[in-house]
Amino acid sequence: MNLRDIDLNLLVALDVLLEERKVVSAARRLGITQPSASGALERCRRLFGDPLLVRTGRGMELTGRAEALQGPVRELVGKAALLFAPPQDIATVERTVRLVSSDAPALEILRMLWSRLASAAPGISLVLLHWRESEDLVDALARNQADLGISLLPQTRSGYRRTELCVAHYCVAMRRDHPIAESFDMDAWLSYPHVIVSATGARRTPLDDQLALIGHRRRVAVTVPSFLMVPPLLADSDLLAMLPRCCMRSDLGLRYHDPPIRVEDFPLHLAVARRCDGDVAVQHVAALIRDHFASSA
């Protein structure tokens, strides 16, 4: 195939078509007519030798070939746009950067970012999006629904770049005058109800599977979607919580113990969408987050 025969605008149209999965909404975003968008889709089908979008009972779905193309096409279009864009000064950039993170690290990060951006890059606005499980976060980055994400993430795929920020260690938290504060062991830990944090409302975690393997079980009494909800619940009850230590501030008036069972530490990652490789605002915010964790290590 001769690259001189490929129209870059066709790849721009394909990028939007694969994201929208609807010709009508893609045409609206591209500022062209619906017949023109349909024509662009047909040309893309001939170019790649694949239907790309197929009709189902729920609308249109991507073929396997289209799913494989989505990340590279978006990255290529982003790099082409960067190539022709004038250089930008971070002090004059106006951009909204969207971050997905659980609330506990996000609160600290947003405070830091605001203090650093207010004078150096006042045109950058921040949006904290609803916390998602890892696979949903990866999907949000791929679909241009988020620019950055902080979570435990799988090995880097084509849609994002991953950096390890820190290694999270688990602890068991309780109020300072809890009945087992001074005599904490496995039996004491399992004799009181637990609160867990889940973005999906799940009442069972890998810890429960681990306990089952050694013939134990715990009672999960409360499931909440927010780490920041846990300290007030612990302060006024006999509930216990096993959480990453980085999610619990030292000034909350709680007592912390090491878990009575071996629990693996886990890395906390920063993911940056590859389509943002040339986005000075996103890269600046990502660098501030990395520097913050590096200085806190």
Question: Residue 59 — pLDDT band, cuts 50, 70, 90?
Answer: confident
- How far is 154 from 159, CA to CA, in rounded Å? 12
Look up residue 165 and give its amino acid: L
Read off the tokens for 223. Answer: 């499931």
Separation of alpha carbons 41 and 37, rounded Å: 6
Nearest to 13 by CA among 42, 49, 37: 37
Give pLDDT tens digits for 221-274: 999 998 889 999 999 899 999 998 877 766 678 999 999 999 989 888 999 998
Tell the residue number behind the tokens 């994002």, with chain if given.
Answer: 160
What are the C-alpha distances in Å from 15 to residues 11, 19, 40, 98? 6, 6, 11, 20
Q: If you average pLDDT over every residue of the chain, what do you get? A: 88
Q: Is the pLDDT of residue 205 over 60?
A: yes
Distance (Å, whole) CA 57 – CA 59? 6
Q: Which CATH architecture has domain 3-84?
A: Orthogonal Bundle (1.10)
Task: Name the CATH code of domain 95-167+267-296 (choices 3.40.470.10, 3.40.50.620, 3.40.50.300, 3.40.190.10).
Answer: 3.40.190.10
Confidence band for 37, pLDDT divided at 50, 70 and 90: very high
Fold (CATH) for 170-263 = D-Maltodextrin-Binding Protein; domain 2 (3.40.190)
Q: What is the pLDDT of residue 87?
A: 67
Question: Do 216 and 190 touch, CB atoms closer than 8 A?
Answer: yes
Tens of pLDDT, residue by residue over 165-200, are 988 899 999 999 999 999 999 999 999 999 999 988
Q: Do domains 95-167+267-296 and 170-263 have the same CATH topology?
A: yes
Looking at residue 14, its amino acid is L
Boundaries of every domain in the chain: 3-84, 95-167+267-296, 170-263
Rounded to two decimals, the pTM is 0.70
